[in-house]
């Protein structure tokens, strides 16, 4: 069964904030995808940490290569299910553009710093502000003027909300689920980062194949299969062979699990999906189990290791310190950020400025503002 009946009808878009004439050969979702690819915030993903910061290896993922992996998995799933691939691709490419420098440590540090002012930082809100205000490329409007559906998918990336729960998102249909194309992104993201972190962790020498197999039996049997197929091959190659099969298992688990869940839900069209009361995108049971085991393994053997924890602590301290510095000495903010303080609270301006930084720009700024001190990872 294909889900073509649930494909978002691109001719029934809620539209753009500033109306625009149709393009002669690109759909509205293709235009959104292209606008995201041409955004500065998208290019900055290249110098933002995914898990391993600089200094570990030159061929580990950064947030840009991670984003491309998410897009590839999500597009495969959308196309296999008969959904709108362009819609899914646009959302995949945008899904991490609101991330501050230094991955989750950066987000937690900014959020904690903002709490002191009774405010908060959330990368999905920041992503919305980027595409609504901060990108500046059009004479007629601020931001990228993306379709409502893409903006809705961005704010509902990983979590839905009830009416009244997120006042800043009140126009984005609180209480309703996003279309299936948008629901795919969160799980495609998980497949991409779980398998990539396993790959990078193995390359970093953090664990052996036997240790993965003991914790993730699904991976163990895939590895056994490839070893009997290629008994002469080296472990590093067999690791990759089994990893490819693992990505395939998880992606097909996402496709089949979603197809079955939609069939079982009784939903007939996109409107039913919106009102289903829960997300319908889900993984087949074996793939969901492998995902849980993989996450648990990665927490124990990758995310919690001391070198990454040390990097987190350093990133947290330095983000906190730079934030405090701008709140104490706003004249150190460059334009146009300084100008924004006339309209917005200073802590908000400082937070937005830091959130937009790449890891490298943060390090250079920190070194400049605090003089002789060693920059992060310096």
Q: Is 107 in the site for Mg ion (CB under 5 A)?
A: no
The residue sitting closest to Mg ion, measured at its beta carbon, is 189
Q: Is 197 in the site for Mg ion (CB under 5 A)?
A: no
| Contact pick of 32, 47, 84, 96 for Mg ion (by CB under 5 A) | 96
Q: How many residues does the chain have?
A: 378
In angstroms, rounded to a whole number, what is the distance separating the alpha carbons of residues 89 and 64?
14
| Contact pick of 32, 189, 200, 241 for Mg ion (by CB under 5 A) | 189
Closest contact distance (angstroms) between CB of 18 and Mg ion is 29
Cβ-based nearer residue to Mg ion, 84 or 186: 186
Cα angle 18, 158, 149; round to 5: 25
Cβ-based nearer residue to Mg ion, 70 or 212: 70
Q: Is 311 in the site for Mg ion (CB under 5 A)?
A: no
In angstroms, rounded to a whole number, what is the distance separating the alpha carbons of residues 55 and 193?
20
Cβ-based nearer residue to Mg ion, 89 or 96: 96
Stretch that binds Mg ion, among 123-131, 181-189, 243-251, 333-341 (CB under 5 A): 181-189
Stretch that binds Mg ion, among 95-103, 127-135, 196-204, 258-266 (CB under 5 A): 95-103
Give the number of residues in contact with Mg ion, rule: CB under 5 A: 2
Burial of 58 (0-12, 13-18, 19+ CB in 10 A): exposed
**How far is the CA of 207 from the CAs of 200, 227, 297, in angstroms?**
11, 18, 10
Stretch that binds Mg ion, among 16-24, 124-132, 186-194, 221-229 (CB under 5 A): 186-194
Cβ-based nearer residue to Mg ion, 199 or 241: 199
In 3-state terms, what secondary structure has residue 19?
A: coil
Closest contact distance (angstroms) between CB of 63 and Mg ion is 7
Closest contact distance (angstroms) between CB of 185 and Mg ion is 9
**How far is the CA of 76 from the CAs of 79, 81, 157, 282, 371, in angstroms?**
5, 9, 18, 15, 49
Cβ-based nearer residue to Mg ion, 152 or 189: 189
In angstroms, rounded to a whole number, what is the distance separating the alpha carbons of residues 250 and 191?
7
In angstroms, rounded to a whole number, what is the distance separating the alpha carbons of residues 82 and 84?
7
Q: Which parts of this chain interact with Mg ion (CB under 5 A)? A: 96, 189
């Amino acid at each position: 069964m294909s889900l073509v009946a649930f494909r978002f009808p691109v001719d029934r878009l809620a539209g753009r904030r500033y109306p625009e004439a149709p393009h002669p050969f690109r759909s509205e979702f293709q235009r959104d995808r292209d606008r995201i690819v041409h955004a500065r915030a998208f290019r900055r993903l290249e110098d933002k940490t995914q898990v391993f910061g600089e200094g570990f290896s030159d061929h580990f993922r950064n947030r840009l290569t991670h984003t491309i992996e998410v897009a590839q998995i999500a597009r495969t799933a959308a196309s296999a299910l008969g959904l709108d691939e362009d819609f899914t691709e646009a959302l995949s490419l945008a899904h991490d553009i609101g991330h501050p420098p230094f991955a989750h440590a950066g987000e937690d540090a900014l959020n904690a710093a903002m709490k002191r002012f009774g405010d908060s930082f959330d990368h999905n809100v920041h992503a919305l502000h980027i595409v609504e205000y901060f990108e500046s490329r059009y004479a007629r409007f601020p931001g990228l003027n993306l379709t409502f559906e893409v903006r809705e998918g961005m704010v509902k990336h990983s979590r839905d909300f009830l009416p009244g729960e997120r006042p800043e998102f009140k126009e984005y249909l609180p209480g309703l689920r996003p279309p299936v194309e948008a629901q795919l992104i969160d799980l495609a993201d998980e497949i991409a980062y779980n398998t990539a972190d396993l790959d990078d962790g193995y390359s970093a020498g953090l664990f052996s194949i036997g240790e993965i197999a003991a914790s993730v039996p699904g991976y163990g049997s895939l590895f056994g299969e490839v070893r009997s197929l290629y008994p002469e091959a080296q472990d590093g190659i067999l690791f990759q062979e089994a990893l490819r099969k693992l990505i395939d298992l998880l992606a097909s688990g996402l496709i089949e699990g979603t197809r079955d869940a939609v069939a079982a839900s009784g939903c007939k069209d996109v409107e039913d999906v919106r009102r289903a009361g829960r997300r319908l995108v889900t993984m087949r049971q074996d793939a969901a189990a492998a995902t849980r085991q993989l996450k648990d393994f990665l927490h124990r053997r990758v995310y919690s290791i001391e070198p990454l924890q040390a990097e987190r602590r350093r990133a947290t301290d330095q983000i906190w310190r730079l934030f405090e510095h701008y709140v104490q000495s706003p004249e150190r903010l460059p334009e146009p950020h300084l100008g924004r303080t006339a309209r917005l609270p200073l802590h908000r301006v400082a937070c937005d400025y830091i959130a937009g930084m790449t890891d490298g720009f943060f390090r250079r700024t920190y070194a400049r503002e605090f003089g002789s001190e060693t920059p992060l990872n310096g």
